[in-house]
Structure 1
Amino acid sequence: MCASYAAPFTRSRGAGRRTAALLVCGLAAAGVMTAAGSAAAAGTPRSQGGATATIGSLKTYGTAVIHDKDGDYQVSAGLFQMFVDGGGMLQTYSVDLRNPTQKDAKYHETPWSGTSLGTDRNAGRIRWILQNSYPQVNDLAALAAKAGVKSLTEQDAAAGTQVAIWRYSDGAHVDAVDPQAEKLADYLQHGAGDLPEPEASLTLDPPAVSGRPGKRLGPVTVHTDASSVTVTPPADAAADGVRIVGGDGKPVTSARDGSRLFFDVPEDAAAGGAELTVQASTTVPVGRAFTSDSRSQTQILAGSSESTVAATATAAWAAEGAIPALSAAKDCARNGLDITAVNKGDMAFTFELLGTEHTIPAGASRTVTIPLQEDQAYDFTITTPSGRGQRFAGVLDCRTEGAAIGTTTQTLSAPSPATVGGTAPGTNLADTGGTSTTPLIAAIGLSLLVLGATALSIVHKKRTTQN
């Protein structure tokens, strides 16, 4: 991973090396993202369901100091604001201290298993902190009493909560500058219990089904904490007579938690596929993770207004041959992408990815893990026998920046996002992400590499001649 640090209080001799490393890292990332973007014509990849939002600014925050082997770094620590697609607002804390937050980055609700939380034994303690601190606990006088301080401002409460979270999520040594905020961080850190991962706000299970025309394909089960969801039938298949129905065979336009939905495909339908969407308005559960495929800093939910959430499911059908239903999910425990293929056909289905061929026998279901490197962007399309392509795109982001660069830590503490606060004292983390100058920085990085390699070559030749 490419690390982004706040400006040190005391400048070290390693600053130049750190700058060069960031330039090289930016160059590599630009190449990967360009390759991924070229495949966009294959269709838009879908998330696993839930809320999708755009990150705003760091709204309520104080100051924290990260202590590491290169010195002390000051960052802002507190709550971000996110704007939900379709309506709604989210409040989030960071769980990746040294990774910058990209301005206006798109985020989607993600299971812990697809983030660094999936392999973090302290993830449950982070959720406990969220449930027992600001803004879930908005009685600041009561929170101050528990922390053993006279009073807390909103800024103190947000900073102390973020510092406590970083001590678990990133494993670095970090302190809040304000004494009240620091005491709150200590109280939350030492009092944290272990809570399970919250359920998703809205998902469809399974996200893909397949079968023969003339039958109901499914069921696809709705899982949500919303009172009801709106069901949008596949517009592209309506002309072919494909309907979304319930267990009784009647068309449905709304459903609720536990509802079972089916694709009703006419017997004379040509081989093809369709997609249904369900949408609802609900509050997203505290503790849900939010990730971005632009490598922007991973967030964890601290509060939610009534927000729009959505999920999709696909169906494929054919009268003969292989009929695969394909879905994918990031698997941080295995450092890869899990692709699940269910073949309801009478022939085997074979596909190749990254030089490896995978075969799903007729009537079988298999999950294969495509190994990926940390921070690796992927973008590929699997074409089914009917000619439809299923696109999977994203970035594998399973480790915090500190873990990726081998940062040593001194306590249970976890540093704050070096971007939530910025790269210099008082800088807003939200302003430290990628900008339009990224290609220029990448070009400069390449130039420095070329010049450095040339200089080394000249020195080597001179020494050889002298010898």
Structure 2
Amino acid sequence: MASALPASAEVHVKPKGEWDQGGVDVFLEGKGDKLDTSLIGLQIDNTQTKVQSYCVELPTSLKDGHGLKEVAWDKHPNPTTKFKENADKISWILQHTYPLIKAEALGKEVGKDVSEEEAIGATQAAIWHYSDGANLDKGKVKNADVVAVYDYLTGSKNEGVKEQPTPTLTIEPADKTGKTGDLIGPFTVTTTAGEVVLKADLPSGVTLADKDGNTLSSPKEGTLAVKDAGVKAKEFFVKVPEGTPDGKASFSVEANAELTQGRLFVSSNDKLQTQSLIVAFPAKVDLKATGTASWAKGEAPSTPPSTTTEETTPSTTESAPSSTEATPTTTTQPVPAGGSSGETGGLASTGASIFVPLIIGIVLVGGGAGALLVMRRRKSTPQ
């Protein structure tokens, strides 16, 4: 009986005006005066980490210091937005323009000498075309470089990127229940991080295991299944021996993961509308997600019927759980090898994967009976 919802590590940011990078002004059809554009700087809460983003909502204002939270594409709050139906087109733009692609390379693609400011202005106008149904007013925009980049980003080559970026860190499901004697799971950790630590509070006798019930133990070389470039997934189970008192195990996953381009940020306060933004360039962020596994004894067997001619009623009494509190364990456990892993070599616009092996380990720590699952990336040899 699992919760259908995953536990996702939430990322919160705030606009920071001094981190903005200005672009050229543009005109949009039917919007009157010129609109300024910029690559908007965001600060991840409690860090000095910078995130660059573009606007995906007209004409809402953006307030310095007002918080935004990361959400899925279908959670865009504006009921009149075209973002939901065109998010794949915007995602394609982000992968083929500045800052992921240098202005010089973008210029070669369109046959112009494009500056960073022109690239920002043209890109923002192209995104507004898809998020708000707005068109660049080419009669008022006298900059041929901007028009060329805009036409490229909104042209026939833009076939969209259907799959939205994977969340940076999730445990799925967030909680699950079972019976003593069961393998409770699977719990799947998915992350863009190069290293993940799983801390678990385990009662005595309860262990982490693979799908076959084998206890995870000493570090061992292996690989993880890759769903997309740089994204890894790992399954584990909570193994509860017969006779274990009713109880619960809680665990948390911590990682320094990549916040990829295409992630959507909207107002943290549902009652306070602000400009919605989309990540334009990847950034690293410290994250944490939590989950739980709980169990109880199954129904006790009925008393066998008597061999006499009198009928007897089967007993329905259940075994009472022990009142003794479980003692944490401090045993070291092995980790099996997984599937295949991936890492992107740089920020190529194609999104191609380069698979590399990972080192995986799991160790229990004393005092709080915690298990640590560490997945470290080895450097791949260039092909």
Same fold (TM > 0.5): yes
1:80 and 2:45 equivalent?
A: no
Letter in 1 for 2:117: Q
Find out whether 1:288 has 2:263 as its counterpart: yes
1:164 to 126, 130, 137: 126
- How many pairs align? 268
Distance (Å, rounded) in 2 between the aligned partners of 1:125 and 1:49:
26
Which residue is 1:184 aligned to? 149
Q: Is the 8 A contact 1:51 1:84 kept in 2?
A: yes
Find the counterpart in structure 2 of residue 95 from structure 1.
56
Between the aligned residues of both structures, percent identity stands at 26
Indicate the structure whose relative CO is greater, using CA pairs within 8 Å and at least 6 residues apart.
1
Q: 1:252 to 1:310 in 2, by over 3 A?
A: farther
Asked if 2 retains the 8 angstrom alpha-carbon contact of 1:96 and 1:170, the reply is: yes
- The one-letter code of the counterpart of 2:284 is E
Structure 1 contact 52–309 (Cα < 8 Å) conserved: no
1:155 is displaced (CA, Å) by 1.9
Hey, what does 1:245 align to over in structure 2? 208
Matches within 5 A, 1:45-444: 48-49=8-9, 51-57=11-17, 59-62=20-23, 63-68=25-30, 72-85=32-45, 88-115=49-76, 120-138=84-102, 140-149=103-112, 151-175=113-137, 179=143, 180-190=145-155, 191-196=157-162, 197-213=164-180, 215-234=182-201, 245-247=208-210, 248-250=214-216, 257-263=232-238, 269=245, 275-294=250-269, 295-319=273-297
Shift of 1:164: 0.4
Higher helix fraction (1 or 2): 1
Distance 1:147 1:219 in 2: 49
SS in 2 for 1:283: strand
Q: Secondary structure at the match of 2:278?
A: strand
Q: Deviations over 1:108-154 (max 9, x none)?
A: 4332233379973322211111111100111x2231233343x3322
Distance change in 2, residues 1:101/1:76 (3 Å): same
Output the aligned Cα RMSD: 3.6
Q: Distance in 2 between matches of 1:160 and 1:214?
A: 61
Kindly tell me: are residues 286 and 172 of structure 1, through their superposed partners in 2, closer, same or farther at Cα, counting changes over 3 Å?
A: same
Once the two structures are superposed, what CA deviation does each residue of 1:335-376 show, in whole Å capped at 9, x if it has no partner? xxxxxxxxxxxxxxxxxxxxxxxxxxxxxxxxxxxxxxxxxx
Q: Structure 2 unaligned runs (5+)?
A: 1-5, 225-231, 300-383
Contact 1:100 1:296 in 2 (8 A): yes
Q: Is the 8 A contact 2:83 2:130 kept in 1?
A: no
SS in 2 for 1:159: helix
**Where does structure 1 lack aligned partners over 5 or more consecutive residues?**
1-45, 322-467
Is the Cα–Cα contact under 8 Å of residues 203 and 222 in structure 1 kept in the other structure? yes
Pairwise CA distance, 1:289 = 2.0
- Answer yes or no: is the 8 Å Cα contact 1:89–1:305 preserved in 2: yes
CA distance in structure 2 between the aligned counterparts of 1:201 and 1:118, rounded to whole angstroms = 25
Give the Å deviation of 1:178. Answer: 6.4
Greater Cα offset, 301-310 or 158-167: 301-310
Q: Give the alignment's TM-score, normalised by structure 2.
A: 0.59
Q: Could you tell me which amino acid in structure 2 is paired with residue 198 of structure 1? A: P
Letter in 2 for 1:101: L
Whether the 8 Å contact between 1:91 and 1:302 is mirrored in structure 2 is yes
Q: Deviations over 1:203-259 (max 9, x none)?
A: 22222312235644321111223233111225xxx6x55967232334799996332
2:288 partner amino acid: A
Distance 1:115 1:315, change over 3 A: farther
- Residues 15 and 67 in structure 2, CA contact (< 8 A), matched pair in contact too: yes
Letter in 1 for 2:123: T
Query: Is this contact kept in 2: 1:85–1:308, CA < 8 A?
Result: no
Query: Does the CA contact (< 8 Å) of 2:7 and 2:170 recur in 1?
Result: no
Q: Is the 8 A contact 1:275 1:313 kept in 2?
A: yes
Cα deviation, residue 198, structure 1: 2.6
